[in-house]
Amino acid sequence: MEIDKNNYEYLQNDKRVKREIKKLKKIYEDIPAEQAKLVLRLIENAGFMAVLLEDLQNDIKANGYKEEYKNGANQFGFKRSISADLYQVTIKNYSAIIRQLNDLLPSEAFEVDDGFDAFVRSRDEMV
């Protein structure tokens, strides 16, 4: 399978990319203002990669994870497809960007009150 470069250049202006960037901006809106300008490029890249990953997944589902190759008269077989290779590289980079963005969030953003602490306190008061 040959990757259509025009298709991936088009993704820069794709509505799906813009929607993903908007979603990510909303998630990471609590990043301190002095870091927000630096983070914008990470968010844009993550939005692009999210859509690229979706397209690569669809290609892998449609065409499979491997493709046949032939190098000369007696060398042939199967190898991982270009889409599968691109997916592997892109998912690693996407994960690294999301990890970076999460590290910049205030720690309170991850604290969720599940009621456990209140339960423990109420049990201590009963004793």
For the chain, which residues make up each domain, given as ranges?
Answer: 5-126
36 compared with 92, residue with greater pLDDT: 92
Rounded to 5°, the CA angle 107-111-115 comes to 160
Q: Is the pLDDT of residue 14 over 90?
A: no
Mean pLDDT calculated for residue range 9-25: 83
Reference 30, options 102, 112, 111; nearest CA is 102
Q: Return the pLDDT at 78.
A: 82
Rg from Cα positions in the chain = 22
* Residue 101 Ramachandran class (φ > 0 left, ψ -120 to 50 alpha, else beta): alpha
